[in-house]
Amino acid sequence: MPELPEVETLRHDLDKEVQGRRVKGVEVRTAHVVRRHRNRKEFAKRLLGRKLGGARRLGVLLAIALDGGEALVVDLGPAGRLRKERSSAPVDRQTDAVVSFTVGGDLRALDLGEAGELFVAAEAELDELAEERRGAIDPLADALTWQAFNARLESRQEGLRALLTDRSFVAGIGPVYADEILWGSELRWDRRAGSLAAQEVRRLHRAIQEVVQEAVRLRGSSVGDTPWLDLRGNKGEYEPQLNAYQREGQPCRRCRTPLVGERTERGETTYYCPKCQS
């Protein structure tokens, strides 16, 4: 499942691998993924002949600049992938769209599902998308002091895990990094956000930065049945660093107490140390 570190890894790879390429062909295999456009043909027409520029991130959306001022926006949804392939490589069944380049090679979008999508956005629409995300903390973009972070926490009544995974509060933190951040800050998942002491807010603030930055450095995590893969089809390398996520029954790396898995009110499982997280 792509969370912030995985999307940032893709952004970086896109800059290296597809920037400067010109679109020669567009094949949309699942009409649903271009639902913002009138039809597949209109989407293809907006892309054909355009040269791709740098990629930027708006939360967990990717926006690849196009010459002439628009951008190709990619929303991966909960399980989507982007893949750079040779044009001759067989097209997987899960492929939703293929963008091919004049110098060879394809950019393919796979497993976008019901929620994921691709669309060409004009500048005004991009500004709007950025504006919608302005309220959420982006741990990679915002140099937020812990005092400012504290001010945002104070008014919140929900548990910490629910807050961390709320996209309107912080961008791109899902179940994996939420559990890691909470383990790193020695806080329980169900502590009320507004109940933290100053010292605890500092620890949480630091853990968000540390976990996300380290995960980006190691190119993300590939966990679960349909693991996330990067643009080249490789797994991320953060998994061995996971201290909590899916480590139920294994000893805590701080205090050796076996970790527990517990159902949250949303029916997800959260993993934590019952001794040193409080």
Contacting positions for Zn ion (CB under 5 A)? 252, 254-255, 257, 273, 275-276
Nearer to Zn ion, 182 or 252 (CB): 252
Q: Name the residue with the smallest CB distance to Zn ion.
A: 252
Q: How far is CA 116 from CA 13, 73, 81, 119, in A?
A: 20, 11, 10, 10
Distance, CA of 273 to CA of 107 (rounded, Å): 42
Beta-bridge partner residues of 137: 170
- Rank residues 181 and 273 by Cβ distance to Zn ion and give the closer one: 273
Q: Are 172 and 57 in contact (CB under 8 A)?
A: no
> Smallest distance, Å, CB 273 to Zn ion?
3
- Specify whether the CB–CB gap between 213 and 4 falls below 8 A: no
The smaller minimum CB distance to Zn ion, of residues 31 and 255, is found at 255
Least Cβ distance, residue 247 to Zn ion (angstroms): 11
Closer residue to Zn ion, CB minimum distance, 121 or 252? 252
Query: In this complex, which beta carbon is closest to Zn ion, that of residue 109 or of residue 182?
Result: 182
First to last CA, the chain: 28
Min dist CB 162 to Zn ion, Å, is 22
CB closer to Zn ion, 234 vs 257:
257
Dump the DSSP string for 149-163.
HHHHHHT--SBHHHH
- Minimum CB separation of residue 153 from Zn ion in Å reads 23
User: Which pair of tokens denotes residue 162?
Assistant: 């629910």
Shortest distance, position 201 Cβ to Zn ion, whole Å: 20
Closest CA to 101 of 46, 19, 24, 13: 24
Shortest reach from residue 210's CB to Zn ion, in Å: 17
